[in-house]
Structures are given as C-alpha cells and as structure tokens.
C-alpha cells in the first residue's frame, strides 16, 4: 500500500531546493531552516517573525525573497513613536481643503431652486461623499503592500523598536491581511503580501503577535555555510585564507564578547584582507584590522591578549 | 493525525512550552503540507510554528526527540493510512499489513507476534495497547506498574498464559521457555514505553509545584539549592513589573486635549486655537536609594535580599544600591557590571557577615546621599533593624526622611518579632513612611509595584 504522505516530503524537499537555488541566484545563501520558513510562509499565508543577532541577514532574507519572486519590496522601518499615519495611511489634507473650496463655489449652482434649509440639505445628501474617498488617501507602506495588485513582499523591520500599541495595531493586518480605515471601511488585500517581521530582541514581543507568526531564529551560520557565503560575496579571496578567516571568526563567537562579529562583519573583514593583499592570517595584520571585526574597545583588548592562540587554532583547523 | 498532534501538543505544554490552540491549528496545517516521512523537515517546520522563543525552541527540540522516535514516525504514518487500525485498535496487529492474527483471537495474536518476532508489528501492537490503556493520563512514577500491566492485558496476556500452561502440560518445554523469554522482552519494552510517557508528561510538574511553593515560602527558609529557581522567579517578577511600568508611561504621553490651557495659551492669537495643549499625566520616574543589610543577623536571608536588590537595580532606571554590615559600601557599579550570581557572591564576600552598626551605616548613608535626595527619591531599606544594642541612628534616618519622597523599610522578620531583644523597629520605623514585613516573593512583588506607581 503506497501512502500518499510518503511522496509528499519529496515534493517539499524539491520545493525547498527550488527556494534555495532561487535565493542563491540573487546572492543569498540560506540554510534549510530558512528555506522551510519561506516555504511555509507562502503555503500557509502566514507572516514570518525573524529573530537573531544583528547582522545575520534578517533584512537580507526579505530582500532576497522579493528579488526572487519578482515582487516589489515594501519596507517599513519601525521606531519609537511610529503611528498609523506614518505606517498605514494619511489623508491628503491639502487636496481635501481644495475640494471643499471647490464645493463651496459650486454650491450655489447645486442649490438653485431649493426651497428652505431642509430641501437644500436633502439635495446635498444626493451627492456622493467624496470627501473621504480613497483618492484622497496617501498610502503608507502597509496600505501600499495591500494595494499592490500582484502582491508584494512586506518587510516590517525591527518591530521591537516600535511601541506596544503599534504591535497591537498590526495584528489585524497580519492575521487577515486587511486594515480598517474608520472613514471608509476595511481594505483587504487581493493577493496577500508575504510579510517578514524582524526583531533584534531589545524587548520581548507580545504573545498575540508571536502567535500569528511563524517564528524563525537565524543563528550565526556554521563554518561550511559561512565559507560559501564568503566565497560568493568576496570571490577574490583565496581558498585557504578564506577557511582560516572563517575559522578565526567562528572561534571569536565562542568568546565572551560584548558584540560577536556577524556575517556582515566577516564579509567586511574579508574585503579588507583582499585590499591589503593578505596571503595568510598573520599576527600583525590581524591586530591592525581587528577593528573591522570588533566594534568595542573592550572586545578588541580581550581578543588581543589571546590573538596568538586564536590565529594558531584557526590555521590548524583550516 | 490530529490525535498524534494533540498528544504532542500536550507533551509540549507539559514541558512548559506555551502553545495556544491557534498555533495548534497552524501545526495541523504544517502536518498537512509536509507529512510525516521526513523527520528533520517536520522538526524544523513544526518548530517554527510552535516554539517562539529561544528557550522554547530548546525545550521543543528535546520534546520532539522524545516524542517522535525515528521508528515511531514510520509507524504513526502507517497507522494513519489504515483506517481499520484507527477504528478498531483492539485488533492489535491486524492492520492488514502483514500476516494478520487468526480471526482476531488476541492470545493467538500475541503468541503469533512473539513467535514471528516482527518488530514493526509488535511496536504497533504496543502503541495500540498504550492508547487503549489511556496511557496519556499517567501522572505519577508509581503508576507505571499498573499501566504496563494494563497494556499487557490488553495485548492478550491472559490468553497467552493459558496457552503457555497448556503447552507446559503437553511437555513442549522448548516452546515455553522461548515464549517466556520473548514475553520478558516485551515486558521490558512496554515498561520503557510507559516510562518515556511519564517523562514526557511530568517533566516539569515538579518544578512548577516548587515555584508555587517558593512564591509563598518565607525567604529565610528557602534553601541554597532553591537560589537558582528563586532567581528565575525574581527575574520574572522584575520583567513583569517593567512591562507594566513602560505601558503606564505611554498612557501619559498620549493625553487628551487640555481645553483650559489651550485657550489661555492662544489668547495672543486672537483666540484662534493655534497652539494645542494636551493633558499629560506626568510619570514619576522614581529615583531610588536602596540599602541592604548583609550582616550576620540576617545571614540566612541576605542572599535573597541581595537578589532582590539586584533585580531592583535592573528594573528601575536610577537606583543607587548600598550594602552594609559595619560600614556602608556602594555596590551600584558592581551590580551593573557583574551577573547576578557573581554580584551576590562578591558582595557577600566583601561586605557580608560582619556585626551590624545601624547608627554608623545610616550616618554614612546620610553623608553620602543626602545632597542627592530630593522630593522624587524613594529610600528603600532592607534589614532587620537589630542594632546589637548600639545606637540605631534614627536621627540620621529622620533627616533623610525629611528630604525624601518616602522611606520604606522592609523587614524580613515577621511583625511579632519586631521590637523584641535588640530590634529597634519602633524607633527606626517612626522615621519611615512605610514599614512592611517582607518575607516572601509575594511581598516583594507588591512593594515593587508600589514603587513604580505613577503620581498624578
């Protein structure tokens, strides 16, 4: 008896490989977990909440998805005090004022022959209420994402920076892909956008928000993946130095640092080494360029004391 | 499928992963989309729908490993695809996959199973028996005997015993010993199944109970080994209070239109409401000076008082922390740089266990901080007010109180012990705005939340 479920994972695996290859063509290399989350997000129409240390490619994932699917990327950067007039929509007040002016001028023509106030008002009611009309709406990122005819990739960046109220305000959007504009009614997306939310974990997000999202944690990449990323991003670097460099960075992450170097820093460092025409990791060179990798003086001091053993270990493991 | 998922969710909840029913539904959708055959894939996908913090992810991974054995997955899947097995779990091995038992005769099935030694069949039979015995209701370790017995009975132990008896009579000794040995193996396997289930379902029940108890337990009686849990609890408490606090601040920022002040301000614009003023509630961002007694007389609670002091410095924005036994010492920087365990240990090592001198400590406190203390400052003192019959230094405390917004004294002793022996609660308490007995986490919680209260 052949079980239909048996063949399903193969199809899923196939889809994952497609995603990974698609991302690779845009220059973004990803792990299985990341591909799975993109797969699930498209299948279940659910937003993905991405957490992880800074610089591991959270924002980049959204960009890669947009490029790969050929959809526009709409980005909403969150900050404290962000409110719906900046995130969702605003009325074009100027145009609305002009409209009332025009209306005032035309009012005389409209009211010709009307007897008394009651009849005038009845006349007025016969006209559509164009004052609150989608034409006077200035769409902000969220509304733009809903209005996009072919669907969009919506990136809500650093949601943890926004206030708790804003988080609550997002719930309707994330669950049903619709938003309520009091004067008009609800606006619903024809094609639900693919939503990514990123968080650096500066504060604990609400349960309600988490419940509505898939949760993806992107850790620092393992050695193999990081090697491939560097190979892709900095192809000028020779292979043995690349392995040494990645091993060195990986060992740094094991130390108790204030801020561990992320992928973006590894890439910067690799570029630096290329510029310096380095052939291998040597002591002086590393010491001179350590500030590319580490951003705190305390960290640099700490690593400096153990530099010799670290470099040695990196050479050995490479 | 849904049954398996339900069980898994239950196990997750038992392991203290918070899973809502909405997330359960999502997990169902994941099942539909991914199926059971690819274990790694399933683990990743379910992990993204069910576990939403790093700690939860770790717990989830453990739980997943325990729940879905590699062997189990294949079995579950086969189970799903054969409706007969679902409808009539009693059939044991008779799911149409292999040589089915002779006419549903259970003893024969068990005997047959044991003789053929088909692992998959046996596993399936065990699972069915487990389901029939309602093993998911097991709660205590002592129940495992009953449950394994029930499962065996369900699989047809009685009939097997009879067969064995007959075989013995007819003198087929070899068969009997072989079957008995197989039965023994089966017993072990069933016991293992039951124990796994216990682990899954009750892993955290103990800790949770302990937490409840610790919450109410007097600090003095808490043991060293509880320090870790206590620390987690205090941290949780602090976190909750912080989030409450931040929300309050937001209320103040919004405000309503203040008509009176708007009118007044706009007089210069000829009464046109040009410059709008909002009603705002100011938030009291309390400055706190916290002093903790770490002398010998409070030795058994000093660790917890310090733990609390540490949490206070974490929660509130502007706290100066002091400890004293004979002399006063500031530990604000120490707390800011070290982790909680190290901070507490270092403080106790450097300043702890001396004999108390309240007079001197309070004098030094007023000398050090009096210039900083103003109408926004709350002074918090943790101590038992036992001054070894020395000068309690209440006059210094009174000078502090005159300038401070309020002085709160938290005493780890119950009220009935105050003013007995060398306790100076009477005199010192008179120089405080509030005196509280603070013996458990509940007390602490109440007091901190009071500290954070906003003023109108």
ipTM of the modeled complex? 0.80
Question: What's the domain count of chain B?
Answer: 2
What is each CA distance from B438 to B286, B292, B308, B381, B435, in whole angstroms?
Answer: 21, 13, 11, 11, 9
Mean predicted lDDT score pLDDT of chain B: 74
- Please report the pLDDT score of residue B101 as a whole number: 36
Mean pLDDT, to the nearest integer, of B41-61?
A: 87
Residue B251 lies in a domain: no
Residue B397 lies in a domain: yes
pLDDT score of B81 more than 70: no
Q: Is the minimum CB–CB distance between A6 and chain B shorter than 8 Å?
A: yes
Partners of residue B53 in chain A, C-beta under 8 Å: 215
Mean pLDDT, to the nearest integer, of B425-436?
A: 82
Residue B214 lies in a domain: no
Residue B151 lies in a domain: yes
Mean pLDDT, to the nearest integer, of B397-419?
A: 83
Q: Is the minimum CB–CB distance between B5 and chain A shorter than 8 Å?
A: no
pLDDT in tens, A191-222: 899 999 999 877 778 888 888 899 999 989 88
CA distance to partner chain B, nearest, from residue A165 (Å): 9
Residue B329 lies in a domain: yes
Instruction: Say yes or no: B194 and B306 in one domain.
Output: no
Instruction: Say yes or no: B293 and B406 in one domain.
Output: yes
Percent of chain B at pLDDT > 90 equals 0
- Please report the pLDDT score of residue B390 as a whole number: 79
Which B residues 65-94 touch A at CB under 8 Å? 77-78, 80-82
pLDDT score of B244 more than 90: no
Burial class (CB in 10 A: 0-12, 13-18, 19+), A259: middle
Domain boundary among B148, B177, B202: B202
**pLDDT tier for residue B372 given thresholds of 50, 70 and 90:** confident
Domain boundary among B153, B183, B202: B202
Strands B318-324 and B328-330: antiparallel
Interchain contact, A217 vs B29, CB within 8 Å: no
CA distance to partner chain B, nearest, from residue A122 (Å): 32
- Please report the pLDDT score of residue A198 as a whole number: 93
- Please report the pLDDT score of residue B89 as a whole number: 37
Q: Return the number of CB contacts < 8 Å for A and B.
A: 85
Instruction: Say yes or no: B294 and B197 in one domain.
Output: no
- Please report the pLDDT score of residue A194 as a whole number: 92
Q: Is the minimum CB–CB distance between B232 and chain A shorter than 8 Å?
A: no
> HSE of B309 in the Cβ direction (CA atoms, 13 Å)?
35
Range of the domain at B312: 285-451
Q: Give the per-residue SS3 of chain B.
A: CHHHHHHHHHHHHHCCCCCCHHHHHHHHHHHHHHCCCCHHHHHHHHHHHHCCCHHHHHHHHHHHHHHCCHHHHHHHHHHHHCHHHHHCHHHCCCCCCCCCCHHHCHHHHHHHHHHHCCHHHHHHHHHHHHHHCCHHHCCCHHHHHHHHHHHHHHCCHHHHHHHHHHHHHHCCHHHHHHHHHHHHHHHHHHHHHHHHHHHHHHCCHHHHHHHHHHHHCCHHHCCHHHHHHHHHHHHHHHHHHHHHHHHHHHHHHHCCECHHHHHHHHHHHCCCCCCCCECCCCCCCCEEEEEEECCHHHHHHHHHHHHHHHHHHHHCCEEEEEEECCCEEECHHHHHHCCHHHHHHHHHHHHCCCCCCHHHHHHHHHHHHCCCCCCCEEEEEECCCECCCCCCCHHHHHHHHHHCCEEEEEECCCHHHCCCCCECHHHHHHCCCEEEECCCHHHHHHHHHHHCCCCC
Least confident of A272-281, B131-140, B412-421: B131-140
Partners of residue B33 in chain A, C-beta under 8 Å: 8, 12, 40, 43-44
Closest CB to A36 among B45, B80, B82: B45
pLDDT score of B129 more than 70: yes
Q: Domain holding B323: CATH number?
A: 3.40.50.410
Residue B233 lies in a domain: no
**Cα–Cα dist B396/B366, whole Å:** 6
Interchain contact, B48 vs A8, CB within 8 Å: no
**pLDDT tier for residue B451 given thresholds of 50, 70 and 90:** low
Residue B270 lies in a domain: no
**Cα–Cα dist A211/B21, whole Å:** 9
pLDDT score of B381 more than 90: no
Instruction: Say yes or no: B45 and B147 in one domain.
Output: yes
- Please report the pLDDT score of residue B454 as a whole number: 42
- Please report the pLDDT score of residue A65 as a whole number: 92
pLDDT in tens, B15-39: 778 888 888 888 888 888 887 777 8
Interchain contact, A204 vs B49, CB within 8 Å: no
Interchain contact, A6 vs B37, CB within 8 Å: yes
Which B residues 137-166 touch A at CB under 8 Å? none
Low-confidence ranges of chain A (pLDDT < 70): 1-8, 128-129, 318
- Please report the pLDDT score of residue B147 as a whole number: 84
pLDDT score of B79 more than 60: no
CA distance to partner chain A, nearest, from residue B341 (Å): 17
**pLDDT tier for residue B146 given thresholds of 50, 70 and 90:** confident
Q: Which comes out higher in pLDDT, residue A179 or B143?
A: A179
Interchain contact, B48 vs A165, CB within 8 Å: no
pLDDT in tens, B102-126: 333 444 467 777 777 677 677 778 8
Interchain contact, B49 vs A215, CB within 8 Å: yes
**pLDDT tier for residue B221 given thresholds of 50, 70 and 90:** low
- Please report the pLDDT score of residue B284 as a whole number: 54
Q: Is the minimum CB–CB distance between A44 and chain B shorter than 8 Å?
A: yes
The architecture (CATH level 2) of A4-78+141-217 comes to 3-Layer(aba) Sandwich (3.40)
CA distance to partner chain B, nearest, from residue A37 (Å): 7
Residue B248 lies in a domain: no
Mean pLDDT, to the nearest integer, of B405-416?
A: 82
Helix and strand counts by DSSP (H, E) for chain B: 21, 6
- Please report the pLDDT score of residue B246 as a whole number: 54
pLDDT score of B342 more than 70: yes
- Which residue from B minimizes the CA distance to A166? B250
Which A residues 94-123 touch B at CB under 8 Å? none
Domain boundary among B202, B232, B254: B202
Q: Which comes out higher in pLDDT, residue B300 or B293?
A: B293
Q: Dihedral through CA B381, CA B383, CA B386, CA B388, nearest 10?
A: -90
């Amino acid at each position: 008896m052949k079980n239909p479920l048996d063949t399903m994972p193969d199809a899923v695996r196939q889809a994952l490989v497609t995603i990974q290859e698609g991302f690779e063509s845009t220059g973004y290399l990803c792990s299985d977990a990341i591909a799975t989350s993109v797969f699930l997000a498209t299948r279940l129409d659910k937003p993905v909440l991405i957490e992880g240390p800074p610089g591991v490619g959270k924002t980049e994932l959204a960009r890669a998805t947009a490029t790969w699917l050929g959809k526009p990327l709409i980005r909403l950067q969150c900050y404290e005090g962000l409110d719906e007039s900046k995130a969702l929509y605003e009325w074009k007040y100027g145009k609305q004022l002009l409209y009332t002016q025009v209306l005032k001028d035309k009012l005389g023509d409209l009211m010709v022959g009307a007897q008394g106030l009651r009849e005038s008002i009845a006349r007025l009611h016969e006209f559509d209420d164009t004052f609150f009309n989608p034409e006077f709406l200035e769409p902000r990122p969220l509304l733009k994402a809903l209005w996009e005819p072919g669907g969009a990739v919506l990136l809500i960046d650093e949601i943890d920076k926004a206030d708790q109220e804003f988080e609550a305000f997002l719930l309707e959007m994330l669950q049903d892909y619709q938003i309520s504009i009091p004067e008009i009614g609800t606006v619903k997306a024809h094609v639900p956008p693919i939503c990514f939310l990123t968080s650096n974990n500066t504060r604990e997000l609400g349960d309600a928000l988490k419940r509505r999202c898939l949760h993806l944690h992107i850790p620092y990449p393992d050695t193999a993946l990081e090697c491939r990323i560097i190979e892709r991003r900095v192809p000028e670097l020779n292979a043995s130095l690349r392995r040494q460099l990645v091993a060195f960075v990986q060992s740094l992450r094991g130390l108790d640092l204030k801020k561990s170097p992320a992928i973006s820093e590894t890439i910067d460092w690799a570029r630096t080494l290329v510029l310096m025409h380095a052939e291998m990791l040597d002591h002086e060179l590393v010491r001179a360029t350590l500030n590319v990798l580490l951003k705190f003086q305390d960290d640099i001091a700490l690593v400096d004391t153990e530099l010799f053993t670290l470099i040695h270990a990196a050479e050995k493991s490479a | 499928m849904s049954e398996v998922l339900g069980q898994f969710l239950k196990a997750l909840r038992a392991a203290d992963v918070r899973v809502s029913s909405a997330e359960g539904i999502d997990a169902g959708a994941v099942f539909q989309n991914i199926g059971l055959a690819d274990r790694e894939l399933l683990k990743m996908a379910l992990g993204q729908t069910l576990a939403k913090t790093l700690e939860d992810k770790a717990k989830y991974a453990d739980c997943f490993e325990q729940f879905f054995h590699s062997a189990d997955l294949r079995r579950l899947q086969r189970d799903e695809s054969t409706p007969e097995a679902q409808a009539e779990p009693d059939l044991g091995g008779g799911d149409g996959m292999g040589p089915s038992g002779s006419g549903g005769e259970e003893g024969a099935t068990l005997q047959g199973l044991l003789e053929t030694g088909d692992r998959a069949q046996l596993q399936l039979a065990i699972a069915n028996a487990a389901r029939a015995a309602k093993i998911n209701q097991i709660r205590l370790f002592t129940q495992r005997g009953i449950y394994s017995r029930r499962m065996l009975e369900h699989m047809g132990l009685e009939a097997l015993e009879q067969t064995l008896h007959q075989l013995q009579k007819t003198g087929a000794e070899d068969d009997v010993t072989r079957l008995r040995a197989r039965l023994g193996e089966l017993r072990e396997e069933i016991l293992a199944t039951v124990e796994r289930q216990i682990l899954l379902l009750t892993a955290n029940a103990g800790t949770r109970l302990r937490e409840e108890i610790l919450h109410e337990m007097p600090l003095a009686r808490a043991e060293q080994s509880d320090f870790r849990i206590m620390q987690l609890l205090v941290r949780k408490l602090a976190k909750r209070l912080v989030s409450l606090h931040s929300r309050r601040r937001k209320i103040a920022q919004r405000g309503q239109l203040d008509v009176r002040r708007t009118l007044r301000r706009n007089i210069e614009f000829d009464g046109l409401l040009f410059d709008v003023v909002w009603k705002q509630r100011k938030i009291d961002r309390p400055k706190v000076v916290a002093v903790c007694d770490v002398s010998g007389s409070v030795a058994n609670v000093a660790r917890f008082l310090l733990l609390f002091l540490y949490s206070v410095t974490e929660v509130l924005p502007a706290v100066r922390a002091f400890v004293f036994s004979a002399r006063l010492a500031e530990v604000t920087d120490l707390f800011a740089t070290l982790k909680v365990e190290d901070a507490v240990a270092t403080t106790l090592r450097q300043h702890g266990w001396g004999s108390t001198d309240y007079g001197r400590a309070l004098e030094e406190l007023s000398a050090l901080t009096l210039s900083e203390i103003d109408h926004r400052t709350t002074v918090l003192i943790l101590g038992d007010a036992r001054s070894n019959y020395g000068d309690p230094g209440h006059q210094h405390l009174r000078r502090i109180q005159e300038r401070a917004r309020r002085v709160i004294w938290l005493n780890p002793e119950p009220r009935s012990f105050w003013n007995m022996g060398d306790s100076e609660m009477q005199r010192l308490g008179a120089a405080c705005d509030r005196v509280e007995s603070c013996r458990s986490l509940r007390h602490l919680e109440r007091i901190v939340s009071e500290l954070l209260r906003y003023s109108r």
